[in-house]
């Protein structure tokens, strides 16, 4: 069978060798041109650069973009580090601000306690609130003052604004304060300016009701409520709050004390009022009515009168 020689001819090898040779010669010539130090060759190189380099901007664009992205990434990394540092500094500043605000509030409360005008006979002991009951059925707080500080069960406590409660349990170094809003709290109060007497009854709500008002029609929302001093539980004249009309149309009390932020409390050293057991000199005791004396015309008819009258008469004659 005849063999087709045309199908066995391979043109790829010779063409590849020719192309490689031409590239080697071209690159070698460019190398020699770039290495020759001659004014003419220098002008040729400049003309070559001016001719071909500007047309290669499209090829350099990706390289430029990549370089720009690298620079932007480095700048972004630097900005991220700065941002993290600023965040840490901001957190520190927030902590310092919170501490400053707390100190400012504590200072304001202490100043407010010092500015409360009380009876000069009433002295006080300031204590820090350590904990609260945390129970919806009993509202009380714990103070860090107790029997060693002279605290007595039943004394009134105030914050910088108004009456808070009374001491209900004293330990050696701590004491419990029963708040006015507790369900077991009952204190007599006076509503000003009408002078109506009422009873503040705690019901575990922020605004306890006012019960047993003598004349409710004389009480208006916004009237001031102070302790009446009846029963000797609290000293008279301590600010308790203002009258407010509740959603149930009952007269309630808007407490003057800030029950949401009880940090410091002032325990009032109150002493029982002196009991008057005997009348004074200016007001003498009432005298019994005098018994009327009987008059007799006949001395003999008077009992034991004749015996006395006879000697008297005889003495007159003698």
Does the pLDDT value for residue 260 go beyond 70? yes
One domain for residues 237 and 158: yes
Residue 315 lies in a domain: no
Shared-domain flag, residues 135 and 245: yes
Residue 227 lies in a domain: yes
Q: Which domain holds residue 40?
A: 13-52
Q: What is the pLDDT of residue 298?
A: 56
In-domain check, residue 278: no
Q: Domain for residue 74, yes or no?
A: no
203 domain residue, yes or no: yes
Percentage of the chain lying above the pLDDT 70 cut: 69
Domain end (from 5, 37, 52): 52
CB-based contacts of 299: which residues, under 8 Å, 6+ apart? 305, 306, 309
Total domains in the fold of the chain = 2
Q: How many helices (H) and strands (E) does the chain have?
A: 4, 12
The reply to whether 32 and 148 lie within a common domain is: no
Residue 282 lies in a domain: no
**pLDDT at residue 253, as a whole number:** 94
- Give the residue, 35 or 153, on which the prediction is more confident: 153
* CATH number of domain containing 168: 2.40.10.340
Tell me if the pTM is above 0.85.
no
CA distance 155 to 234: 7
Residue 55 pLDDT: 61
């Amino acid at each position: 069978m005849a063999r087709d020689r045309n199908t066995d001819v391979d043109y790829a090898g010779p063409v590849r060798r020719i192309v490689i040779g031409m590239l080697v010669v071209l690159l070698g010539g460019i190398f020699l041109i770039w290495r020759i130090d001659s004014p003419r060759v220098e002008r040729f190189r400049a003309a070559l650069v001016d001719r071909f380099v500007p047309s290669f901007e499209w090829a350099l664009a990706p390289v430029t973009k990549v370089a720009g992205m690298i620079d932007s990434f480095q700048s972004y990394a630097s900005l991220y580090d700065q941002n993290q540092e600023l965040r840490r500094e901001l957190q520190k500043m927030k902590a310092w601000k919170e501490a400053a605000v707390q100190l400012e509030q504590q200072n304001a409360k202490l100043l407010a306690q010092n500015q409360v005008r009380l009876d000069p006979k009433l002295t006080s002991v300031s204590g820090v609130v350590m904990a609260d009951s945390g129970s919806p059925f009993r509202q009380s707080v714990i103070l860090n003052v107790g029997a060693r500080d002279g605290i007595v069960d039943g004394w009134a406590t105030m914050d910088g604004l108004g009456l808070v409660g009374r001491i209900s349990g004293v330990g050696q170094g701590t004491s419990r304060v029963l708040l006015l809003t507790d369900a077991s709290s009952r204190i007599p109060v006076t509503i000003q300016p009408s002078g109506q007497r009422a009873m503040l009854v705690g019901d575990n709500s922020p605004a306890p009701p006012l019960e047993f008002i003598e004349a409710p029609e004389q009480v208006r929302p916004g009237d001031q409520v102070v302790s009446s001093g009846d029963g000797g539980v609290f000293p008279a004249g301590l600010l308790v709050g203002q009258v407010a009309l509740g959603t149930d149309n009952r007269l309630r009390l808007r407490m003057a004390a800030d029950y949401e932020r009880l940090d410091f409390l002032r325990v009032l050293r109150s002493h029982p009022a002196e009991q008057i057991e005997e009348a004074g000199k200016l007001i003498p005791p009432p005298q019994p009515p005098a018994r009327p004396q009987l008059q007799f015309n006949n001395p003999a008819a008077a009992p034991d009168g004749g015996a006395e009258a006879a000697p008297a008469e005889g003495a007159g004659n003698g």
